[in-house]
Structure 1
Amino acid sequence: MLNDYLRRHDGVLTLEHARELGMTRQAVNRRVRSGQWRQLSRGVFFVDDRPLTEAARIRAAVWGYGPRAVASGLAAAWWHGFTRFAPADVEVTVPRSSSGRCRAGSRLRRRDLAPADVVEQDGLAMTAPALTAVEAAVRRGGGPKIMDTALFGDLDVRDLWRAHLRNKGRYGSPAARRLLQAASDGTRSAAERLLVKHLRTAGITGWKTNYPVGRYKVDFAFLAAKVVIEIDGLAFHSSTDDFHHDRVRQNDIMLLGWQVLRFTWLDLTEYPDRVIAIINHAIRA
């Protein structure tokens, strides 16, 4: 039973878990003294016959704050698969009434979460995917790509808005609201305004906005070069019907002799220099 438990929980267990498996405190202490187990924090142990993985490190950090602690922020984002790299410091959320100080290797947040905002995966409690995406996107080291990745999965923008509104007033809330507005239907204009700013800063001229091409109005058109730029909102991929309509539209415009470039909110916020370079290449070809 012990080996099976350790296999399923990354080699990490707490004193309480050990007791549930029939071990005494004395038995745990003997394993620590012999070097078989390593104590990572008060009441949390790692069986030192395997590598200390990122999953083990995050699990140990969260369990070190007690049974009501949950992983949050970039730590939860990594566990949900929204980002490739685990953060150096593990963000842990505990109830407001909890006592104790923040420990090395972690960042502690005190707040009360609604049941809808907490899930359990592989025995570890963490913020639910929607709240995780909203919060991790505005953390240092996060960014719009996290929200974009989350929206490629089972979430849609409405899920993210509901999680955001349940947790208004938290750290990073205004920045999260701006990202959600960029992801919501009808707010593609925010991305268009951002591209206008980039074009003007780069000194690129000769474009018109909302220009008619065939039976469509395109976001940007360079008439002399016959180049069209279409802007996709952060959640442009969230609807299969929208995706299909955009491809039909793009093909029709290309058949009229126009080159079509597509950029996303992520492109405009994270890679503006690359966007400008592509546009310059297209209009000068």
Structure 2
Amino acid sequence: MLNDYLRRHDGVITAGQALSVGLSRQSVNRRVQSGEWRQCARGVYFVEDRPFTDAARVRAAVWSFGEHAVASGLAAAWWHGLTRYAPVDVEMTTPRHGSGRKRPGARVRRRDLKTGDVVECRGLKVTALPLTALEAAVRGSGNRAVMDRALQREATLQQLWSAHLRNKGRHGSPAARILLQAADGTHSTAERILTGLLRSSGITGWRANVRIGGYMVDVAFRGAKVVIEVDGWAFHSDQATFQSDRERQNVIALQGWQVLRFTWLDLTEYPERVLATIKAAIRV
């Protein structure tokens, strides 16, 4: 039972969990004293017969703040699979009146979470996907794609708004509200960003909202026969819309036009790369 528990929990175990699977306090102490177990924090141990992975590090950090601690922010985003790399500092949320000292490698926010905003994932309490996406997306501009990835999965825009309203006043709440507002009617927002970039960079020879092959395109360079289409957040593209966009793109391409597609995130996160691509395409 002990080995199975350790396998499922990345080699991390608490004193209480050890007792629940049949070990005595003396047995736990012997393992620590012999070096078989490493003490990560008071009452939290790691078994030294395996690599200390990022999953073990995150789990140990959260468990070191007690049974009510919840992984949140970028730590929760990584645990949910929304980001590729685990954060250096493990962010977690603990009850407002909880205990626990600050320690290296941990960022603690004290807030009482609603039941619906906490889930258990692979044996660890983490913020639910909608709240995780909101909190992680505002941890620096490079993390805005986290919200998009969450909404490509089972989360919905309505769930994100609900999570936001339940947690007003949290760190990053104003920035999250701006992202959510941008998500409503995002295509028009992205189109305005694109035309603004073209004007500010001095690129000429284009027109917005041009009809080609029976379709209205966002921007067209008639001289270079280049069309630019902008997409909103990924969650706006259901299967039917995805298929329609591809059919539309094929019709335009068969008439001799090169089609460039950019997303809201491309335009806001990588505008210089977008402009370089457009310049390369229209260069004669």
Q: TM-score, normalised by structure 2?
A: 0.94
SS in 2 for 1:177: helix
User: What is the deviation of 1:118?
Assistant: 0.8
* Conserved 8 A contact 2:44-2:63: yes
SS in 1 for 2:93: strand
Deviating more after overlay: 237-246 vs 118-127: 237-246
Cα 1:78–1:145 change in 2 (3 A) is same
Match of 2:200 in 1: 201
Q: Which amino acid aligns with 2:71?
A: A
Q: Which amino acid aligns with 2:277?
A: I
* Conserved 8 A contact 1:131-1:164: yes
| CA deviations over 1:126-147 (Å, ceiling 9, x no partner) | 0011111111111138512212
* Conserved 8 A contact 1:14-1:44: yes
Match of 1:143 in 2: 143
* Conserved 8 A contact 1:69-1:92: yes
Match of 2:278 in 1: 279
Q: Which amino acid aligns with 1:194?
A: I
- Cα distance in structure 1, aligned partners of 2:223 and 2:93: 56
Match of 2:160 in 1: 160
* Conserved 8 A contact 2:210-2:218: yes
User: What is the deviation of 1:164?
Assistant: 1.8
Structure 1 residue 41 corresponds to structure 2 residue 41: yes
User: What is the deviation of 1:232?
Assistant: 0.2
User: What is the deviation of 1:31?
Assistant: 1.1
| CA deviations over 1:2-61 (Å, ceiling 9, x no partner) | 111111111101111011112222221111111111110111011111110000000000
User: What is the deviation of 1:273?
Assistant: 1.8
Q: Quick one: percent identity of the two aligned structures?
A: 65
Q: TM-score, normalised by structure 1?
A: 0.94
- In the TM superposition, structure 1's runs of 4+ consecutive aligned residues that sit over 4 Å from their partners are none
Structure 1 residue 71 corresponds to structure 2 residue 66: no
Match of 1:16 in 2: 16
Cα 1:141–1:89 change in 2 (3 A) is farther
Q: Which amino acid aligns with 2:164?
A: H
User: What is the deviation of 1:237?
Assistant: 5.6
SS in 2 for 1:100: coil
* Conserved 8 A contact 1:182-1:188: no
- Cα distance in structure 1, aligned partners of 2:264 and 2:59: 34
- Cα distance in structure 2, aligned partners of 1:118 and 1:104: 24
| 1:1-285 aligned within 5 A | 1-140=1-140, 142-184=142-184, 186-235=185-234, 238-285=237-284
SS in 1 for 2:227: strand
SS in 2 for 1:266: helix
User: What is the deviation of 1:263?
Assistant: 0.3
